[in-house]
Amino acid sequence: MKIHLTSVFVDDQAEALRFYTEILGFVKKYDVPVGEKDRWLTVVSPDEPGGTQLLLEPAGHPAVRPYRDALAKDGIPLAQFAVDDVHAEYARLRALGVRFTQEPLDMGVITTAVFDDTCGNLIQIATQPR
């Protein structure tokens, strides 16, 4: 068994696609219309185009907003992405205007930072030892 797909809820799929591709550097994998205005919209790492997909899922369900608001209020990230160097990625993303809610934090075996994805979610980046 392996993880094939996971999702983040987004308020605006077009804006989320722009952020996740142009700012974070993911590449679009699937963009298929679903219904009148929604899309099955996934992105993947350019380093692993056949790897785990991230679904940019519309946040229209009534349970989404209270769930995301509670996580954000408590500073809990909705997802975590692996990076080679949190400090370098933090500097790169800050230069692009990304707002961080947690600067790089070295915790022994792992270093993390948390940013706002502009789509309603907190996302953690982490560097783990190899």
Question: What's the CATH number where 100 sits?
Answer: 3.10.180.10
Instruction: List, as one string, the DSSP characters of 59-99.
Output: --STTHHHHHHHHHHTT--SEEEE-S-HHHHHHHHHHTTPP
Distance CA 99, CA 118 (A): 9
pTM for this entry: 0.94
- Report whether 12 contacts 24 (CB < 8 A): no
Walk along the chain (130 residues) and give the pLDDT tens digit of each residue.
Answer: 999 999 999 999 999 999 999 999 999 999 999 988 999 999 999 999 999 999 999 999 999 999 999 999 999 999 999 999 999 999 999 999 999 999 999 998 999 999 999 999 999 999 987 6
Pairing assessment for the beta strands 100-106 and 27-34 based on DSSP bridges: unpaired
Residue range of the domain that includes 31 = 5-127
**How many domains, in total, are found in the chain?**
1
